[in-house]
């Protein structure tokens, strides 16, 4: 009998058209409540997901809480529709004294059985590492990062 302990995954087609060799920070499917009456997903909903996706590598790099200080650029290149499966990729492009800048790209897998993938959004955001007092905090050096399992 197959149990969760001995289950072996069977080969499954990989998503096509997504950046190779990269792991998305988020994969989300917008629901009807995230769209206007025409079925286009609200830009504000996409911006919120981009902010969350960008904050994840920033939080790892900051080794703690961050606050979004600026949305430096934001381009909606193609519309997003209810039922698109969105993948959010986020790369740190700059680390300052207290700030971390992140480039976020969003791809939509549309009509998934036809494997139609389109880039829908790209944005650059800056986060600031903050302390419990919500004031800026120096971003630790890479060799100073402490992971929870090491604490």
Ligand X SMILES: CC(C)(COP(=O)(O)OP(=O)(O)OC[C@H]1O[C@@H](n2cnc3c(N)ncnc32)[C@H](O)[C@@H]1OP(=O)(O)O)[C@@H](O)C(=O)NCCC(=O)NCCS
Contact residues: ligand X, CB under 6 A: 67-70, 96-99, 126, 128, 130, 134, 136
Least distance from ligand X to the Cβ atom of residue 142, Å:
16
Q: How far is the CB of 29 from ligand X (least distance, A)?
A: 24
Q: Which among 90, 88, 84 is positioned nearest to 115, based on CA atoms?
A: 84
Give the residue at shortest CB distance from ligand X: 96
Q: Which is nearer to ligand X, 40 or 51 (CB)?
A: 51
Residue 54 and residue 127 in contact, taking contact as beta carbons nearer than 8 Å: yes
User: Which is closer to ligand X, CB of 86 or CB of 128?
Assistant: 128
Of 87 and 99, CB closest to ligand X:
99
Shortest Å, Cβ 26 to ligand X: 16
DSSP string, 32-94: GGGB-TTSBBPHHHHHHHHHHHHHHHHHHHHTS-EEEEEEEEEEE-S--BTT-EEEEEEEEEE
User: In terms of CB distance, is 49 or 126 closer to ligand X?
Assistant: 126
Tell me how far, at minimum, the Cβ of 141 lies from ligand X, in Å: 14
d(CA 53, CA 128): 15
Neighbours of 107 (CB within 10 A): 23
């Amino acid at each position: 009998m197959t149990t969760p302990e001995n289950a072996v995954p069977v080969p499954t087609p990989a998503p096509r058209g997504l950046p190779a060799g990269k792991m998305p920070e988020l994969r989300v499917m917008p629901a009807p409540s995230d769209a206007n009456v025409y079925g286009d997903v609200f830009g504000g909903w996409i911006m919120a997901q981009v902010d969350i996706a960008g904050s994840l590598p920033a939080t790892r790099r900051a080794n703690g809480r961050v606050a979004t200080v600026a949305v430096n650029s934001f381009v909606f290149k193609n519309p997003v529709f209810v039922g698109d499966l969105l993948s959010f990729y986020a790369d740190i492009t700059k680390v300052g004294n207290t700030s971390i800048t992140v480039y976020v790209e969003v791809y939509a897998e549309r009509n998934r059985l036809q494997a139609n993938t389109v880039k829908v959004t790209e944005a650059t955001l800056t986060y600031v590492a903050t302390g419990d007092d919500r004031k800026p905090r120096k971003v630790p050096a890479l060799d100073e990062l402490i992971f929870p399992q090491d604490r």
